[in-house]
Amino acid sequence: MLSIQHISKEFGPVKALNDVSFDVPDGQILGLIGQNGAGKSTTFHSILNFITYAGQIHWQDHTLAATDFDQIGYLPEERSLMPKLTIEQQIIYLARLKGQSAKVTRPQIDDWLQRFAVKGTRKSKIKDLSKGNQQKVQLICTLIHHPKLIILDEPFSGLDPVNADLLKQAILTAKQDGAAIIFSSHDMENVTAVCDRLVMLRKGNVVLHGTLDEVRDQFGKTELFVTTDWSADRLATLPGVASVTSRHGRRYVLHLTDATAGPAIFDALTQGHYIEEFSQQPPTLDEIFRLKVGEEHV
C-alpha cells in the first residue's frame, strides 16, 4: 500500500501542497483530479522523491528506499522517448533502468506491441511513429517490468477512444495483478470507468476524498432522469426544479434544488400511471468537478 500522510510543499510564496493525506491500497486504483496547478504533478514528484517535501510517504509500511523505485512504473505528462532508438532499444533500455534484464524483456515486446495495437515493429524507430503510437510505446515502457506501484500522469491525453480503451484494459489488468495505481486525468469519464477511489485537489488542498459513490452521494440525488410527454417548459414549472436539460426525443434531465422534491415530481408526472423512465441520481463526477472548481470564483 502507498500511504501519503500530511505532505506539504512550497515553491517560494506558492503553497503547492497543504497537508495532503490519502492511501492507495494494493489492487486498487485512485484517480487524482483537479485543475491545472492544483498539485497533482507535485504529489507525483513527491512520491518519486524528485523534490523535497514535509510529511511522510510510505510504501508497504516503510519509507521508500532506492530499491523500491524498481517496483514503480511512472508515466510523466511530458513524453520523453529517444527518437533515434528503435522501439525494442527504447523498451529494453528503460526496463534495464528498472532492474529487468534484456533477456527477460525482449521476449515480451511483441506481445505488448500487439496488446496496445502499436503500428510499427520492434525495429521501427521512435521518430517514425505517430504521436499516439509513441505514447503507447512509453506506456509499454511504464508497465513491462510489472511494477507494483504505477503512477500515470494524464495517460489518456491524445488517445482516441479505441486506444483509451486499450489503456483502460491494461490498467485493470495491472489492478488484478495486485498493483497499487494512481493516475491523474481531466476526463471524468475515464476516472469513473476505472477508479475505486478519488482525491480532488484544489490549490494544494484535498477538497474531495472517497469512493466514487461516497463522493457523489455527498451532493444528494439532485439529477432526475425522466422520459415523458411533458414539454421542457412545463417540466421547469414543477416545484423543486432548477432547470431542465433535453437529451433526445422525450427524455430529459431535471436538475433539482432539493433531492426531497423527487416524490412529488413522480406523483405529478405519473398520476398513478406507468412511466417509462424515472431515475433520481447524484450529480455526475464531471458536474461535481465543475461545481468544486466554480467554488473558487464565488
289 located within any domain: no
21 located within any domain: yes
Taking every pair of Cα atoms in the chain, the longest distance, rounded to a whole number of angstroms, is: 72
Mean pLDDT value across residues 253-259: 94
My answer on whether 195 and 227 are in the same domain is no
Mean pLDDT value across residues 60-69: 90
Distance CA 197, CA 215 (A): 9
My answer on whether 22 and 144 are in the same domain is yes
* CATH number of the domain that residue 157 is part of: 3.40.50.300
Q: Do residues 293 and 35 touch, judged by C-beta distance below 8 A?
A: yes
Question: Taking all residues of the chain, what is their mean pLDDT, rounded to a whole number?
Answer: 93
Range of the domain at 119: 2-217
My answer on whether 37 and 185 are in the same domain is yes
**Confidence check: pLDDT of 298 > 50:** no
Share of the chain above pLDDT 90, in %: 79
Domain termination residue (choose one: 217, 236, 270): 217
Q: How far is CA 249 from CA 88, 231, 279, in A?
A: 52, 11, 17
Burial class of residue 14, CB neighbours in 10 A (0-12, 13-18, 19+): exposed
19 confidence band (pLDDT: 50, 70, 90): very high
My answer on whether 69 and 194 are in the same domain is yes
247 located within any domain: yes
**Confidence check: pLDDT of 295 > 80:** no
160 confidence band (pLDDT: 50, 70, 90): confident
pLDDT tens digits along 105-122: 999 999 999 999 999 899
> Residue written as cell 485537489?
201
DSSP string, 158-194: T--HHHHHHHHHHHHHHHHTT-EEEEE-S-HHHHHHH
15 located within any domain: yes
Q: Do residues 73 and 142 touch, judged by C-beta distance below 8 A?
A: yes
My answer on whether 132 and 9 are in the same domain is yes
**Confidence check: pLDDT of 58 > 80:** yes
294 located within any domain: no
Put residue 168 in one of left, alpha, beta given phi > 0 → left and psi -120 to 50 → alpha: alpha
100 located within any domain: yes
Whole-number pLDDT of residue 171: 92
Share of the chain above pLDDT 70, in %: 98
Domain termination residue (choose one: 201, 217, 233): 217
Whole-number pLDDT of residue 297: 53
My answer on whether 195 and 269 are in the same domain is no
The domain total for the chain is 2
**Confidence check: pLDDT of 34 > 90:** yes
E strands, the chain, are 2-11, 14-24, 29-33, 54-59, 62-63, 72-75, 149-153, 180-184, 197-202, 205-211, 223-227, 241-246, 251-256, 277-281
My answer on whether 124 and 257 are in the same domain is no
**Confidence check: pLDDT of 23 > 80:** yes
My answer on whether 247 and 108 are in the same domain is no
298 located within any domain: no
Closest CA to 19 of 291, 292, 289, 201: 201
Q: At what angle do helices 161-176 and 131-143 cross, to 10 degrees?
A: 0
User: Which residues does 118 contact at the CB level (< 8 Å), separation at least 6?
Assistant: 87, 129, 133, 136, 137, 140
**Confidence check: pLDDT of 159 > 90:** no
My answer on whether 261 and 204 are in the same domain is no
Whole-number pLDDT of residue 5: 97
Secondary structure class of 252 (helix, strand, coil): strand
